[in-house]
Amino acid sequence: MLEVLNPATEEVVATVPAATPQDVDAAVVRATKAQLRWAATAPADRARLLRRFAVAVDEHLEELAQLEVREAGHVIGNARWEAGNVRDLLDFSAGGVERLSGRQIPVPGGLNVTILEPLGVVGVIAPWNFPMPIAAWGTAPALAAGNAVILKPAETTPLTALRLAELALEAGLPEGLFQVLPGTGGVAGNALVEHPGVAKIVFTGSTRVGKQIMTKCADRVKRLTLELGGKSPNIVFADADVEAAALATPMSYLDNSGQDCCARTRILVQRSVYDRFLEIVRPAIESIVVGDPSDEKTQMGPLISKSQLERVRSYVPSGSGIHGTAPEGPGFWFPPTLLTDVDADAPVATEEVFGPVAVVLPFEDEADAIRLANATEYGLSGSIWTRDVGRALRVSGAVQAGNLSVNSHSSVRYWTPFGGYKQSGLGRELGPDALAAFTETKNVFISTEA
């Protein structure tokens, strides 16, 4: 059995059965049968059922949000956004069902067409940091493209996934088409990755585990999408609106308690405005409200677990930098932290901490900023603050990251592509091409010669 703890209180919220390899095998059998029927369903009917699923999510949005608060410690405003993101992504994906078209390519002596066919059964392995939306990133487009989905949520956050599966059935999706199997990565996750009946794996999590999954998928040449770690830069040039950049900085890395692969945890500030930036950002960090995630006024909640708390603590030297406050007593709390006077190659400046901790580093000029921004094995996201349009374009072209924002910290929209460079991942999710990533392209030539 898996125990689900409330990260804010350490109380047991629920216990759920942990799936075995036999459970995975049985789920694949059910999914295979359901997928064949689903793929044969008229596109308009598949789209209609996905929209019903979206309506069901919307009708239970507050319930799902409250469940996310209890199992993941997310602040209530974020949790409502996450449930809404699932709804919106289902709607967006439903709109693509009837537009998933191939091409007619001119050839001599006949007609050549391409057909986009579903892969079959897709395994989605979702993380604990954003349990609902990231589960939907793989599930919604895979279903829309005609596949069946088996979702393995993280051990610590299975409850919203289980509820979504119930809502899918209530909305009329066929039995066996969308199944949720809670379990450990080493057992249920591994069985899903290695199962010959699973055509593709979508994994979001650590780079270390992603490499292991990639190795196992390679043995069968299994399709794979990976969304992995990040150590994203937040570059502030002297010609920027420094006050706006500084005031936007805290929540660029404190949102979801820093448990976000897009968190801007490497803050690079041009030396001539470095001191001014710190003067503005200090009170902004110190005023962040950390506490009960169900309170509407709370800006930051707890970390997910004791082990994650210990990991974050191990990166932070005592007494250095700028610190906010956090509750004492039960719960996995760590204060908002911004470290100064840190070497650019220190572990806290190069490794993914996955907590409310960032470092601020000075740079001299544009070339130095680009060098520092790229001095990491990751390349997921980043921000560039400048009033110079030419500089914004030059730096955007030079920074090795899949998702960049200028004068903002936006990273993820369900209708635009998302994914990373280097060891931040493989492939892209979301956006207008999301459904195609869950298909095989078949080329058919029809001779017109007698």
CB atoms < 10 A from the CB of 388, how many?
13
What percent of the residues of the chain are helix, what percent strand, and what percent coil, each to the nearest 5?
Answer: 40, 20, 35
Token reading at 436: 């195609």
Query: pLDDT tens for residues 128-168?
Result: 999 999 999 999 999 999 999 999 999 999 999 999 999 99
Dump pLDDT digits (tens) for 256-305.
999 999 999 999 999 999 999 999 999 999 999 999 999 999 999 999 99
Average pLDDT over residues 211-236: 97
Catalytic residue among 68, 71, 82, 227: 227
217 is catalytic: no
227: annotated active-site residue: yes
Mean pLDDT, all residues of the chain = 97
Helix, strand, or coil here: 4?
strand
Q: Record the tokens describing residue 322, joined without a space.
A: 């700028």
Q: Is the pLDDT of residue 450 over 90?
A: no
Q: 145 has which bridge partners?
A: none
Angle between helical axes of 242-254 and 274-286 (0-180°, round to 10): 50
Q: Label residues 336-363 b or e (16+ Cβ within 10 Å = b).
A: bbbbeebeeeeebbbebbbbbbbbbbbb
Residue type at 182?
Answer: P
Q: What is the SS3 assignment for 443?
A: strand
Q: 185: Cβ–Cβ under 8 A, 6 or more apart, which residues? A: 125, 152, 155, 209
Tens digit of pLDDT for each residue in 357-401? 999 999 999 999 999 999 999 999 999 999 999 999 999 999 999
Using alpha carbons only, what angle is made at residue 418 by residues 412 and 304, rounded to the nearest 5 degrees? 60
Return the SS3 of 54: helix
Q: What is the pTM of this model?
A: 0.96
Specify the length of the chain in residues: 450
- Cα–Cα distances (Å) from 315 to 127, 352, 357, 360, in that order, read 22, 10, 9, 15
Bridging pattern class, strands 381-385 and 403-406 = parallel
| 383: CB partners within 8 A, 6+ apart | 232, 233, 234, 235, 252, 264, 404, 405, 406, 407, 408, 409
How confident is the model over 153-208, as pLDDT tens digits?
A: 999 999 999 999 999 999 999 999 999 999 999 999 999 999 999 999 999 999 99
| Strands 110-118, 121-125: pairing kind | unpaired
Can you state the angle between helices 76-97 and 61-72, rounded to 10 degrees?
120
Catalytic residue among 261, 262, 352, 429: 261
